[in-house]
Amino acid sequence: MEKEPRRKIDEEIFGEIVDDIIIDKFESSKDSKCGCDAEIFGEIVDDFIIDKCGAITPEAAEKLHLELAAAKELNDLCMDKIRHQAAEFENYRNRTSKEMGQIFDKGVREVVSALLPIIDNFALAVKNADKKDPFAAGMMMIQSQLHTMLENLGIEKIPAVGEKFDTKYHSAVSHIKDESLDEGVVAEELQGGYVYKGSVIRHAVVVVAN
């Protein structure tokens, strides 16, 4: 059955209003995941609203248009607030993660600094022990486990003997004459040095040649 002229005009006016709003929304949303064509979508909305509301007067259409515009503005404000809060949370998470990392690194340095004298004593005991003694073999095993623990924590031993003396990593306590070595080369290591993430925990105590 053909629609009444008045009803048809009302539908066309309201349809144009809804179409304008929807098409504007589609054009401003470049990353929209909706695969619907804006025109087809507008027709679907027109049919749904008119089916539910019946004939729409120009005054009612204008009122709906204003309500839709107000709703869109409110939605934009809410989205801006959500984006702002999301950015604040991301900054908080990054800041907290960085602070936790710094606390962990500080803890590693403090614990390793306390363990180094024990590691030194093990090294000294192993060096002077009778290698044929089963007890010495047990001590060497413990020493190996300690070194593995340091490696797993990211602790690196500072290269010393045969390296060029570097005040950043080495601390010289004496010099010796050794024609087999170039000047300023580390001839002997008296105490091992260690670094963690490029930061020195303890300098290597060395003897420098020439």
Query: Model confidence over 80-94: pLDDT tens digits?
Result: 999 999 999 999 999
pLDDT at 122: 86
Q: Which residue has the higher pLDDT, 9 or 177?
A: 177
Determine contact, residues 160/170, Cβ cutoff 8 Å.
yes
**Predicted confidence band at 124 (pLDDT cuts at 50, 70, 90)?**
confident
What is the DSSP-derived secondary structure letter of residue 159?
P
Nearby residues of 170 by Cβ (< 8 Å), 6 or more positions away: 158, 160, 163, 186, 193, 203, 204, 205, 206, 208
Q: Which residue has the higher pLDDT, 94 or 14?
A: 94
Domains and CATH numbers, the chain: 5-28+36-92 (no CATH), 115-209 (2.30.22.10)
Q: What is the pLDDT of residues 159-197, one digit of tens each?
A: 999 999 999 999 999 999 988 888 999 999 999 999 999
The whole-number average pLDDT for the span 134-146 is 87
Give the β-pairing of 186-191 and 204-209: antiparallel
Supply the pTM of this predicted model.
Answer: 0.58
* 3, 6, 87, 88, 94 from 91: Cα distances, Å: 59, 57, 6, 5, 5
